[in-house]
Structure 1
Amino acid sequence: MPSLLHHPLDPSSRLIRLMCAEYGVPLDMEEIKPWLRTAELLEINPAATLPIMLDDGDVPIVGLLANIHTIEDLYTPDAIAGLIPPEPLARAEMWRMIEWVISKLNDEVTRYVLEEKIVKRDQRGATPDPAVLRIAKANLNEHMLYFNWLFATRSWLTGDVMTLADFALAAHLSTLDYLGDIDWGKAGETRDWYSRIKSRPAFRTLLNDRVVAMPPHRGYADLDF
């Protein structure tokens, strides 16, 4: 059984967990805090980033894209449709939206929220900076407007079929939801989409996640939120 080095609120790790759960790939989970930059982590990945997949005797699979392609190559089941479309144009739109989420959304919103609310808990004397969180919230509002616009004409993030891009967005929004940074009452079409993807069996392990001394925001684990 492969093992995954992850942090419960790391969106990239969450994406890999969702992908594996959808494909029925069991994982042995090992939780770490990458910002502590332990010698053990740096030996595997000098960049000190997650996720990292390990299997007995194999070279570690380091990073989000490497893990996505490895899982798709090794574990895509024949019984269900894969998460990466076979058609070139559909696949291009999927990668466009994945890039939007893991680059733009992460760099403008998720990264700041995690640094202020999670990473600073392990820094003596550090407290969240309200100014940074206000900027992240304003940026999130702009992203939500764009997602609402997309979901007004699409069943899923890239079209009529669920793809890996939906899991990428769900990974980030679920992290922000855990920390109480999403006002679902104002989320419009994105809320309807999230309700559907949150109900998938692959999402169950994420909804059981807990961070020590930081319970999830009210409604995080509820399918009717």
Structure 2
Amino acid sequence: MPTLLHHPLDPSSRIIRLMCAEYGVPLDMEEIKPWLRTPELLELNPAATLPIFMGEDDIAVIGILANIHTIEDLYTPAIVAGLIPPDPGSRAEMWRLIEWVIFKLNDEVTRYVLEEKIFKRDQRGATPDPAVLRVAKANLNEHMLYFNWLFATRSWLAGDIMTLADFALAAHLSTLDYLGDIDWGKAGETRDWYSRIKSRPAFRTLLNDRVVSMPPQKGYADLDF
């Protein structure tokens, strides 16, 4: 059985977990804290980033893009539509929005929230910086306006069918939702979309996540918020 080295709130790991759950791929899950930069992790990945996928050949697949392509190449079911559209135009839009999420949204919002609220828990005497969190919140508000505009013009993030771009955004927003950083009352069309994707069977593995001494915000696991 494949093994995934992950952290429950790492959004890149969550993308791979959603893909595997959607495709019916069972995983052995090994939880690690990449920010501790342990020798074991650095030996596998000097960048100390997640996810790391170990297939049956025990070769470590490092990083989100390599993981996406590996899962898609190995496990896309032949009897159902995959998460990557077959036509070039739809596929290009999907990759554009995946890039927006895993780079722009992550660099302007998610990584700051995780650094302040999660990573600092393992740093003696460190506490979250309210100024950093205020900037992340302001950036998130701008991103949500853009996502609301997209969902007002299409059924799914990249178009009229669900794609990997939806899983990418859901992975990041679910992490932020766990930590209580999304005001769903003001999320508009994005809230409606999230309610739909949150109800998929593949999402159950994420909704069951718990971080020691840090329970999720109220409503995190509720399908009706």
TM-score by length of 2: 0.99
Amino acid at match of 2:90: A
State the aligned residue count: 225
C-alpha distance in 2, partners of 1:118/1:58? 30
Q: SS in structure 2 opposite 1:47? A: coil
Per mean C-alpha deviation after superposition, the further-off stretch among 58-67 and 123-132 is: 58-67
Partner of 2:53: 53
Q: Residue deviations 1:82-120, cap 9 Å, x none?
A: 000010010000000000000000000000000000000
RMSD: 0.6
**Deviation per residue, 1:126-182 (Å, 9 max, x gap):** 000000000000000000000000000110001100000000000000000000000
Match of 2:17 in 1: 17
- Name the counterpart of 1:74: 74
| CA shift for structure 1 position 18 | 0.2
Give the residue type in structure 1 aligned to 2:204: R
Cα distance in structure 2, aligned partners of 1:156 and 1:110: 21
Mapped to 2, the partners of 1:131 and 1:192 lie a distance apart of 30
Cα distance in 2 between the residues matched to 1:113 and 1:150: 24
In structure 2, distance between residues paired with 1:178 and 1:115: 15
2:44 counterpart letter in structure 1 = I
Residue identity matched to 1:55:
G
Q: Name structure 1 gaps, 5 residues minimum.
A: none
Q: CA deviation at 1:79?
A: 1.5
Q: How much does 1:34 deviate?
A: 0.2
Pair 1:111 & 2:135 matched:
no
Shift of 1:57: 3.6
CA distance in 2, matches of 1:178, 1:17: 16
Residues of 2 paired with 1:71 and 1:108: CA distance? 27
1:23-172 aligned at under 5 Å gives the runs 23-172=23-172
Structure 1 counterpart of 2:211? 211
Identity of aligned residues (%): 87
- Paired letter, 2:33: K
TM-score (ref. length: structure 1): 0.99
Q: Quick one: distance in 2 between partners of 1:199 and 1:95?
A: 24
Q: Secondary structure of the residue that 1:151 maps to in structure 2?
A: helix
Q: Secondary structure at the residue paired with 2:29?
A: strand
* SS of the residue 1:26 aligns to: coil
Counterpart of 2:5 in 1: which secondary structure? strand
Local SS of the residue matching 1:152: helix
Q: How many Å apart are 1:56 and its aligned residue?
A: 4.2
- Structure 1: which 4+ aligned runs deviate by more than 6 Å? none
